[in-house]
């Protein structure tokens, strides 16, 4: 008895095996290489055209070093962007007002006055450095003794003590404040 021959390898469910083909290069690899070659050709061509036309392309990101490349390949300093010009504050640029918050009088012994200083900019055409802090030293007159204190100004705001106290010779005494000095802090 002869034994049945086993099916050839590569068959399934009794189907005949497909004949083997000779190995061929993969088409995907060829397409990929052709794509790279075409992209390289286009980029080189664009570079050659830009060089031939002497196009100057600024690739410097904003805020980096101010350098420019001229047609000869040398670097030349570009003028720096204009910096804002700020005014220096002067005593005439501000006015001070004394706002009386409370007053306790003791007959001929005088009064104790609670007050706050209010600052106003008199010259709105002047522009002060918003990043600088200025100290304004002021003197309050009209009390028993001169009273000197300081407030700070930065940008459009100022900081002053909420309440201050002074003694006056009488209830009729009028308080006034004068700027003594302005300095940058």
Alpha-carbon span 123 to 119, nearest angstrom = 12
Looking at the fold, whether 179 and 97 belong to one and the same domain comes out as: yes
What are 106-136's pLDDT values in tens digits?
999 999 999 999 999 998 888 899 999 999 9
Looking at the fold, whether 97 and 43 belong to one and the same domain comes out as: no
- 117, two tokens: 């200083």
Domain span holding position 38 = 27-56+66-77
Looking at the fold, whether 179 and 96 belong to one and the same domain comes out as: yes
* In-domain check, residue 102: yes
Higher-confidence residue of 8 and 135: namely: 135
Alpha-carbon span 173 to 11, nearest angstrom = 119
- Average pLDDT of the segment spanning 157-184: 94
Residue 137 pLDDT class (50, 70, 90 cuts): very high
How many folded domains does the chain comprise?
2
């Amino acid at each position: 008895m002869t034994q049945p021959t086993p099916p050839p390898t590569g068959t399934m469910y009794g189907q005949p095996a497909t004949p083997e083909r000779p190995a061929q290069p993969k088409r995907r690899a060829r397409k990929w290489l052709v794509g790279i070659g075409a992209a390289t050709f286009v980029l080189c061509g664009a570079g050659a055209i830009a060089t031939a036309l002497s196009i100057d392309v600024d690739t410097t990101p904003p805020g980096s070093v101010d350098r420019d490349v001229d047609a000869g390949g040398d670097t030349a300093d570009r003028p720096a962007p204009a910096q804002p010009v700020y005014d220096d504050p002067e005593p005439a640029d501000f006015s001070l007002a004394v706002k009386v918050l409370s007053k306790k009088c003791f007959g001929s012994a005088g009064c104790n006055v609670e007050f706050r200083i209010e600052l106003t900019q008199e010259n709105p055409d002047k522009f002060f450095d918003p990043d600088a802090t200025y100290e304004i030293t002021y003197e309050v007159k009209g009390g028993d003794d001169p009273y000197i204190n300081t407030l700070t100004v930065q940008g459009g705001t100022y900081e002053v003590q909420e309440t201050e106290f002074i003694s006056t010779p009488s209830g009729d005494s009028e308080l006034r404040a004068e700027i003594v000095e302005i300095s940058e802090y």
